[in-house]
Amino acid sequence: MFWMWISGFFGMVTKFAEVVLAIKYREKTVDGTWAGGPMYYITKGLNMKWLALAFAGFGALASFGIGNMVQANSVASALYTSFNVPKIATGIVLLVVTGLVIIGGIKRIGSFTEKLVPIMAVFYILGATIIVLTRIAAVPEALATILTYAFTPAAAVGGFAGAAVRSAIRYGIARGVFSNEAGLGSAPMAHAAAKTDHPVRQGLWGIFEVFIDTIVICTLTGLTIMVTGVWETGKRGAPLTIAAFEAGLPGVGQYIVAIGITLFAFSTVIGWSWYGEKCTEYVLGSKAGKMFRYVYLPFIVVGSLGALTQMWDIADTLNGLMAIPNLVALLLLSGTVVALTKDFVGVHLKAKKKGAKT
């Protein structure tokens, strides 16, 4: 949890920079929409086509991990734990419904999910807040435990004896990046389509995203797991969070998590199919991009049946490969980000002074 906070703190800066660059170097497509992301700011800002191709190639591969198999695995585990639904059944149904959206063009399903996700997010945050508040006396001890085990090897209970600090850093940072995608280069592809009057204004939304995802929601989840005591049960992944919510809100907690994970994961699977398709198109052309959809779908079933540890290891490895070209570009283009930020601040200061005089 502590190292997720660290990841989130620096991730706010990283997400800000990549969103600013995505708006700065985006291009208008033939259909009138905007297209952007690392491929564009690496090519146009650095004139390094090979690095842009490397990012796009790794991005296409990463979509099978973070956006596909891990999500399917979480849904299958949650539904099996809460409703005893066979994992193979979950994988097949998720494949069919996703296929209807990304291949069949049935956007109503995606639109319906987009409307439900914010509602479920509210229920999730509210549920976690209630659990934490009703056990507020246990929060100081939970925070002390988090800080202690961030720097001190944990006992065998709930940890990795002798290697807990290294594991806490490695997995904390990885899970932090997974939660907010800062530095991966995926979010800028979506932000590039935004209507905004200045790159920095959109970049501020990137900061907000990371703060809500990692600092607020992940902290609430972590505290829920700690104050209910289920962190010592040996459970992992979705079943651990379900156990925490059920302990804190008996009778309804497990359903909040199971339904929430299903909706969140489904929307993520659809979103990452688009990221993967765009990366594939950049490397191999539009025809290959459309074929990507057919390759993408079967891995949903693979993910639903796979072992949790294997799914996360694959996702973390591919995330790292995807992040490297993007982080190199962010470092080399940092001067552009600083210049745009100064311009934005200067314009607003002038506007405020002018408003004060009038």
Domain assignment present for 357: no
User: Rounded to whole angstroms, how far apart are CA atoms 272 and 34?
Assistant: 18
**How many CA atoms, within 13 angstroms, populate the side-chain half-sphere of residue 162?**
0
Q: pLDDT: is 223 or 152 the higher one?
A: 223
- 76 CB-near residues (< 8 Å, 6+ apart): 85, 87, 90, 91, 303, 304, 305
Domain assignment present for 356: no
Domain assignment present for 278: yes
User: Rounded to whole angstroms, how far apart are CA atoms 252 and 237?
Assistant: 19
Q: What's the residue count for the chain?
A: 358
Chain mean pLDDT for the chain: 90
Helix 38-46 vs helix 2-24: angle between axes, to the nearest 10 degrees? 60
User: Residue 155 has what pLDDT?
Assistant: 57
Please state the three-class secondary structure of 30-49 as a single string.
Answer: CCCCEECCHHHHHHHHHCCH
Model confidence at 321: pLDDT above 60 = yes
CB atoms near residue 137 (< 10 Å): 8
* pLDDT above 70 as % of the chain: 94
Each residue's pLDDT tens digit, 42-63: 999 999 999 999 999 999 999 9
Domain assignment present for 81: yes
* Rounded average pLDDT over 187-212: 93
Q: State the chain's maximal CA–CA distance in angstroms.
A: 68
* pLDDT above 90 as % of the chain: 70
pTM over 0.85? The answer is yes
Domain assignment present for 200: yes
Q: How many domains does one find in the chain?
A: 1
Each residue's pLDDT tens digit, 84-133: 999 999 999 999 999 999 998 777 776 777 788 888 889 999 999 999 99
Domain assignment present for 188: yes
CATH code, 121: 1.20.1740.10
User: Residue 357 has what pLDDT?
Assistant: 56
Structural domain range at position 89: 2-349
40 in Cβ contact with 46 (< 8 Å): no
